[in-house]
Amino acid sequence: MQQTSLMRAFALLLITATIAGAQFKSTATLVIAPTTITNSKGNYIDALEPADLVLYDNGVRQPIQVDESFNPISLVVAVQTSANSAATLDKLGASGILFTDLLSGDRGETALITFSDEVRTLRDFTTSSDSLSTGLRSLHVQGNGAVALEAVMQSLAMLAKRKSDRRRILLVIAEKRDRSSKVKFPVVLHEAQRQNVLIYWLTYSPFLEPFTAKPKKVKSKDPRKDGEPLPPDMAPGNLLSVFTELAQQGKPDNSVQLTRTTGGRAIGFLKKEALEEAIQAIASEVHRQYIVSFTPRPGKPGEYHAIRIEVKGHPELTARTRAGYWAMP
């Protein structure tokens, strides 16, 4: 009995290794759909068999491969550092260990980039939480723009150079809407799809965020005034910012479009506790996913395909995955 169990375990390990190798060997011919299964209470469902999951591509059932999330993670954290992000930068100083130990996890690696008027690489891929924490503590305002799409493209370029057996994840911490990017959104979306990168986005309100900053105090030689709290700054600092933010509301929501299409999700936060809870929630989700992959049938290049996954015989369970993909040439 023990020998039979060992043989089964070895066979399962061999199958898993074969699937993982096939899964990441060619991103051009495979569509990878990280899938989260939850019950009506939002609890994760583990230990499902590949036969339990059914995937539909434009309504047509597809043969699939299913792996659990054992492959090591390459994570890029992209942080907006424009003037209206000052309060958020203060909140990120102690988050290094959350990214490296919780989200990237065992054998994972994390890179850190910042963006405002331009994109900067603050830390290349590292396994050190100390190195990442030092980088996060050094964050400071660097401009007024927010080239979010350029930051996503640079992150994708960095992830493209990682080993083929790694899961590629991008976590953006920024406002929802782009302010000053030159690159076109469809180009970014197609590149994310081509690389099978899973994108998450932690969002905040540029209008409300300044009110959550630590209160600044007056520095004065007059003991009656020294230490008095100053009112929170309006980023960028006056009534004009109100109209600027209202104008932003008419722009596309990058956070929703990129996360839904790739299989991640967008989470809003205001206070530091909510930011840390959101990072932990993403980490829990990433490490409880089923990695579903399939080879799409030949189709018209540029045609959009909607994806749907369900758990066979369990309509009460919810399967969340990427919304779809564009057929590649």
CATH number where 212 lies:
3.40.50.410
Distance CA 5, CA 179 (A): 58
Is pLDDT at 172 greater than 50 in this prediction?
A: yes
pLDDT, tens digit, 9 for 90 and up, residues 237-290 = 444 444 444 445 556 788 998 999 899 999 999 888 999 999 999 999 999 999
Distance CA 193, CA 156 (A): 10
How many structural domains compose the chain? 2
Query: Which residues constitute the domain of residue 318?
Result: 28-69+288-326
pLDDT, tens digit, 9 for 90 and up, residues 272-287 = 899 999 999 999 999 9
| pTM of the predicted structure, to 2 decimals | 0.79
pLDDT of residue 226: 58
Cβ contact 166:139 at 8 Å: no
- The pLDDT of 197-221, averaged and rounded, is 69
**Both structure tokens of 229:** 């709290």
Q: Does residue 47 share a domain with residue 105?
A: no
pLDDT, tens digit, 9 for 90 and up, residues 101-145 = 999 998 999 999 999 999 999 999 999 999 999 999 999 999 888
What's 40's domain CATH number? 2.60.40
Q: Does residue 77 share a domain with residue 133?
A: yes
pLDDT of residue 83: 87
Q: Does residue 226 share a domain with residue 303?
A: no
Q: Does residue 249 share a domain with residue 303?
A: no
Helix (H) or strand (E) holding 67: strand 65-68
5, part of any domain: no
Q: Does residue 256 share a domain with residue 139?
A: yes
pLDDT band for 63, please (50, 70, 90 cuts): very high
**Neighbour order of strands in the sheet with 31-38:** 65-68, 290-294, 31-38, 318-320
221, part of any domain: yes
Is pLDDT at 71 greater than 90 in this prediction?
A: no
Distance CA 25, CA 38 (A): 29
pLDDT of residue 212: 52
Q: Does residue 121 share a domain with residue 83?
A: yes
Distance CA 276, CA 91 (A): 9
123, part of any domain: yes
Higher pLDDT, 228 or 200: 200
Helix (H) or strand (E) holding 125: strand 119-126
SS3 state at 49: coil
Residue whose C-alpha is closest to residue 68's, from 110, 107, 15: 15
Mean pLDDT comparison of 148-162, 211-225, 293-307, highest-scoring range: 148-162
